[in-house]
Amino acid sequence: MRGFFATTVWAVLAASWLLAGGLTLKSPDFHGRMAPAQVFDGYGCRGGNLSPALSWHGEPAGTKSFAVTLYDPDAPTGSGWWHWVVYDIPASVHALPEGAGSPGGKGLPEGARQARNDYGFVGYGGACPPPGDRPHRYILTLYALDVEKLPVPEGASPAMVGYMLQRHALAKASLMAYYGR
């Protein structure tokens, strides 16, 4: 009886996972080592400062919007470094083109908002770890959210947006790349 119960539970869980699919994030630009186009242009770094092209699928039922963050947990700040935070991406959108994170947000879908990054401006700020540090990890995360609009004020910090992302996440998927100099 115990074996039957365990097998039945496993089968139900496996079937649920297969039916639900799974949120998947892809990028032709973001994998392994960060491309020069994604590196910051300033503070001694020379890059294109372009956000990577992204696409996704497999969001769970009830998804009302998406958000994307790029975070460096290895930055020597005591709290990491927020490179990009974009949220309120409509649920009908399943891709962002390269450069969508420009400070003006010209490549973002209507209604999407960007938070200020840790460089101090709104938009994407590429990788620029201190010279001589071991390569840093850059974690790009897509969130499927249960709200159309995150309940954060205009000008909210990346940490506040991150808190609300955790509270409203139905699913998330991440990619990681490295960069050192």
Residue 8 burial by CB count (10 A; 0-12/13-18/19+): exposed, middle or buried?
Answer: exposed
DSSP 136-167: EEEEEEEEEESSSS----TT--HHHHHHHHHH
**Pairing relation of β-strands 113-114 and 54-57?**
unpaired
pLDDT, average across residues 20-47? 92
Is pTM beyond 0.75 here? yes
| pLDDT digit string, tens, across residues 76-130 | 999 999 999 999 999 999 999 999 999 888 899 999 999 999 999 999 999 999 9
| pLDDT digit string, tens, across residues 146-159 | 999 999 999 999 99
Per-residue model confidence (pLDDT) at position 105? 87
Kindly list the structural domains of the chain, giving each domain's residue range(s) and its CATH number in brackets, ordered by start.
21-179 (3.90.280.10)
